[in-house]
Amino acid sequence: MKAFCPFHITGFFALKPNRAGISSVGCGIVIADGATTEAVVGEGRVYINREPSSAPTTRTVIDSLSEKQADVKTELAGPISCGLGTSGAGALSTALSLNQLWKLNFSFNALCETAQRAEIVNKTGVGDVIAQAVGGVVIRRQDRSIEFSPTARNLLSCVRPLSTPGILANRGALSAIEKFGSAALKKLIRKPTFDEFMRLSRQFAYDTEMLSQKARDAVEAVEATGGCASMAMLGDAVYGTDPSNALSEFGTVRKTAICNCGPSCLVIARKMASQKKACAFRKSVQRSGHKRALNAPVNQKGRWKNNILVKVRSATSNNNAVNPSIQFNP
């Protein structure tokens, strides 16, 4: 069984305690590139991009769901440790594919929680799964998510990998993240637009002093040509609006787009009339707001009952919003 989960770029965040121990609030962009995972009956082997891998986050998901054995093969359409939420995408796509393979009948909500716990336990992320479950541009709050539609075109260029576990274990860094991330969230909730998200993300990157010199140079090069840019959290990668293609000086760029859908079962998606219709259907179901559907089993015909969040509402900044393109260096 195969499943797909999109990547997620975090603009800013702050860590918050919850029942699971820790989670995060903040805002980020879910992009069309992601993780495709195939689960087959096997001996418990895990492969990342066709290479055997220890993949602790993925293995935690496997062990959490069942004592059965399966081989899990994940293909990542982007670089690891560059702030794209690859571990979260791998964990959630693994949970979805195993749920289908073993006919576990877990709810979508339960599978998302399993993937998020695996991220937290292995210190590979704290908030990506919540946004990846919804799609679009998502403001993550402790009580709900606010989603809005951007109007700008985006670029992302990976500079170098950055260790998420290392930063999450650094008390000095966490103190700055909590202070400036919480402040940015309050401001964005008052004005939920893409331009404000980019401005606050840039300010967060500078205030927390996590920008490398090369990433700082890339951000300033984009701004010098009339665009805006920031750093993907947590990874030394730069994204932003770039009308003059200034980021091309810092590496090869690759186009993608904002993904307005959450994860999906690929076998199911092919049975739909088109990917657009499948995407539109999932979004309409996610916005329905039926709380009972949160804990209902994932329909075997592929109709997701709902997302991980109890409340989701739209705060579109422009009625004529378009789907942005994003680029990154693999």
Cα 95 from Cα 26, distance rounded (Å) = 24
Query: Which tens digit of pLDDT belongs to each residue from 265-288?
Result: 775 444 444 445 445 544 443 443
Mean pLDDT lowest among 10-19, 126-135, 220-229, 254-263: 254-263
Residue 123 scores a pLDDT above 80: yes
CA–CA distance from 240 to each of 124, 152, 282, 298 (Å)? Answer: 24, 9, 28, 36
| Of 218 and 293, more confident | 218
How far apart, in whole angstroms, are the C-alpha atoms of residue 159 and residue 211?
11
Which stretch of 53-57, 114-118, 142-146, 205-209 has the lowest confidence by average pLDDT? 142-146
d(CA 174, CA 167): 8
**Each residue's pLDDT tens digit, 5-55:** 999 999 999 987 765 566 789 999 888 889 999 999 999 999 999 999 999
Task: Indicate whether 106 pLDDT > 50.
Answer: yes
**What is the pLDDT at residue 184?**
95
Q: What is the pLDDT of residue 165?
A: 58
Sorting pLDDT into bands at 50, 70 and 90, what band is 240? confident
Residue 272's SS3 state is: coil
| The CATH number of domain 1-330, selected from 3.10.180.10, 3.30.230.10, 3.50.50.60, 3.90.1150.10 | 3.30.230.10
